[in-house]
Structure 1
Amino acid sequence: MTNITPTTEPSVADATETIVTRTARELRAARGRRSRSALRQMLPTLTPWLALGLVLIVGIALFGLVGPLFAGDPTAIRDIGLTGPSAEHLLGTTQTGQDVLAQLAIATRGSLEIGLIVGVLATVLSAFFGILGAYVGGFADEAFSLFSNVFLVIPGLPLVIVISGFVPAEARGLWTIAVVLAITSWAGSARVLRAQTLSIRSRDYVAASRVAGERAWRVIAVEILPNLLPVLASQFVFAVIAAILGEAGLSFLGLGASNSSTLGTMLFYAQNGFALSLGAWWWFVPPGLVIALFGMGLSLVNFSIDEIINPKLKNVRLHARRARLARRAARRTEGAR
């Protein structure tokens, strides 16, 4: 009697292994496509306004970073006070003969440093008191919310003036002004982050992570924080704008960084040198223009980030674009007829 060896079992096993491998590969590919799609959704759509904002920001940042290397000594005193723009001094000189272009490059770097420091500190404080308190809940949430409300109801500018006034002039450096501005500008952002976190905390995937025994820091970092990145980016941009304007206001009042050069200190010295009454526009217009252009660039970027936070804004722009394309197609059709 002939023994018949079964030949179907290896083929079934091989087919099963092939199916499992193919399924795993497809799942990995689908997960990669979802992650890329989620990343694209988190990035703002490139529009002419966004491009203009990025050009302004990058141009001014490069001027502040590279300009001091080529602009010369901003403290060199010459006997050609208050001379207008010329080939030797592109933006003229101050009352003591100092080159305005060199001062503008150093001052731009100082203002950018203050804006970056305040933006980072204010964003970290708002994220700590807004996200952590809302996730933990209970007494911690109530305490953090009360602390945020106290800072929120205190007028910002008077508090900054009072704090800066009590700090000795020799101790009012760049970091001191940055810390003062950061302390007085985080509360409003913390309230927004708290509301967003309370909404995200009640979603199913966050509840599933908590039931699965994930640690609190991992749930916040992996499940909650990625959904808040557009809000954090918008708050960071707004904090930078507010910091540069706040520092310029403090320096104009004589409460700025006494041992640092910023755009605000340039305006302060131009005011004390009677630049406006003497008609020396090249002394006070360039720093004011840099502040305005940099704020404009950040605002344009912030408007683009708002489209991610509020999809209705993006849908309105897409509908308007489709309507324009439809009108153009209709005109082409009528012209062809």
Structure 2
Amino acid sequence: MRPNRFRLPRFLRNHKAAAGALILLFFLVFAVIGPWIAPYSPDQTGTAIVVGPSSAHWFGTDQLGRDIYSQLLVGTRGVVVVGFLAGAIATVLSMLIGIASGYLPGRGGESLSVLSNVFLVLPALPLLIIITSTQQSNGWVVILVIGLTSWAWNARLMRAQTLSLRRRDYIEAARATGESTSRIIVFEILPNLTALIASGFIGTVVFTVLTEITLAFVGISVSEWNWGTVLYWAQSQDALAQNAWWWFVPAGLAIALLGTGLALLNFGIDEFVNPRLRSSGPARIKTATGRRVRMRIGFTPVTGAPGELVPALAQDPEGETL
């Protein structure tokens, strides 16, 4: 009898999803423990002004002698908290309005669709700057404003998918047996939108993180410290002109790395739920002569033996030979 081996969940066996999950876990850990392990207070000034990386200051110091490494560690929590809370609010709104507008008939569904269209064309960033600049850096106001202005696109996607699902046979059967609208939406439609919801949530988190950092970069402090605040001080103090690369490069790399992790996780979700993307790589089929040749999915014929053509249409999207 073979011993039971630990196996990763099927989703994490995807290399992109696993890499994205590891990067995201890395930032989540530092969001929790960052303020505790920071060697200095991010506001603590010193005599070493605009000094490069050293054993005392790993990422150098700014114009007031503050430790940039500590600023990045403390700022990770603000980026992650605002990004995920605002993303959760936007995802919940997109689910409620998108699914309801796609399933409800008549004026109810059309009214919700019009509401989505109105929010879709709103200039979100200028509106955010106007509102947040009058709220004295209230973090919850920023979270609510970002969440309330970034749901419309995902709502449109969910509406389109719900319109496709509402006429399926199993939905008609549930309706014919007297199931309530709420039960049909929760138990019949919503499970089929799980991948779309997860992908939309990750995309919204990316948008909210970039929006938060943009607000901080233009001088609207979303939280006391985040990566955008570091970039704001670097830009306002002409760090590039002073060749103080350590002032802005680590923050920029952190933003890029977090965005890459979320993007990889999103790609992994797409490949996990889409058979065409999941069956990547060349496949082998058997020709009429019994010889196995390699081919790829597509419409271009692939040559097997000399003078022998193997049509690429002989393979279905799942990678099986027809």
Separation in 2, partners of 1:322, 1:53? 26
Corresponding position of 2:220: 255
Corresponding position of 1:97: 65
1:205 aligned partner, one-letter code: Y
2:119 is aligned with 1:151: yes
Corresponding position of 1:285: 249
Partners of 1:50 and 1:300 within 8 A in 2? yes
2:49 aligned partner, one-letter code: G
Larger Rg: 1
Shift of 1:132: 1.7
Separation in 2, partners of 1:91, 1:244? 22
Alignment of 1:1-337 (within 5 A): 44=11, 46-72=13-39, 73-165=41-133, 167-168=134-135, 170=136, 172-257=137-222, 259-315=223-279, 317=280, 320-322=281-283
SS of residue matched to 2:47: coil
1:58 aligned partner, one-letter code: L
Partners of 1:49 and 1:300 within 8 A in 2? yes
The number of residues matched between the two structures is 279
Percent sequence identity over matched residues?
A: 42
Shift of 1:45: 6.1
Separation in 2, partners of 1:308, 1:195? 21
Separation in 2, partners of 1:102, 1:323? 54
Separation in 1, partners of 2:224, 2:182? 39
**TM-score, structure 1 length as denominator?**
0.77
Corresponding position of 2:3: none
In structure 1, runs of 5+ residues without a counterpart are 1-39, 328-337
SS of residue matched to 1:271: helix
Corresponding position of 2:319: none
Partners of 1:44 and 1:307 within 8 A in 2? no
Change (3 A) 1:97 1:126: same
Change (3 A) 1:69 1:321: farther
SS of residue matched to 2:17: helix
Where is the helix percentage greater, Structure 1 or Structure 2? 1
Corresponding position of 1:25: none
